[in-house]
Amino acid sequence: MALTACLFAFTAWQSGRPPKPPKVRMIPWMIITLMLGALFMFLFAHVFTLFGFETGQMFNRF
C-alpha cells in the first residue's frame, strides 16, 4: 500500500510538470496516476475489511 502511494505521488508529480515543446511524452502519466489512485482505494478498503470494518452494504443482511 505504501508502494502504491509513493508511485501515485511520483506519477502525479510527473503528470503535473509542464511539457517540453520539442519532446513528446511517451508515457501517459495521467492515466497511470488514475489507475494507481483506484488501486490505492481498493487496497484501502481491503485493509479496512481485514481489521473487521464492513465497507460494502449499508443495510444488514438477513
Does residue 34 belong to any structural domain of this protein? Answer: yes
Q: Which triple of cell numbers denotes residue 48?
A: 479496512
pLDDT of residue 37: 96
What is the number of structural domains in the chain? Answer: 1
- Domain range spanning residue 41? 6-15+28-49
- What is the pTM (predicted TM-score) of this model? 0.77
* pLDDT score recorded for residue 5: 95
Q: Span 24-44, mean pLDDT? A: 94
CB 11 within 8 A of CB 40: no
Separation of alpha carbons 19 and 24, rounded Å: 8
Which band of pLDDT confidence, cut at 50, 70 and 90, is reported for residue 24? confident
**pLDDT value of residue 7:** 97
Distance of CA 55 to the CA centre of its chain: 18
| Residue 34 in this model has a pLDDT that exceeds 60 | yes
- Helices marked H in 1-62: 2-16, 29-50
Q: What is the pLDDT of residue 57?
A: 66
Q: Which of 17, 56, 12, 19 is nearest to 35 (CA)?
A: 12
Asked if the structure places residue 36 within a domain, the reply is yes
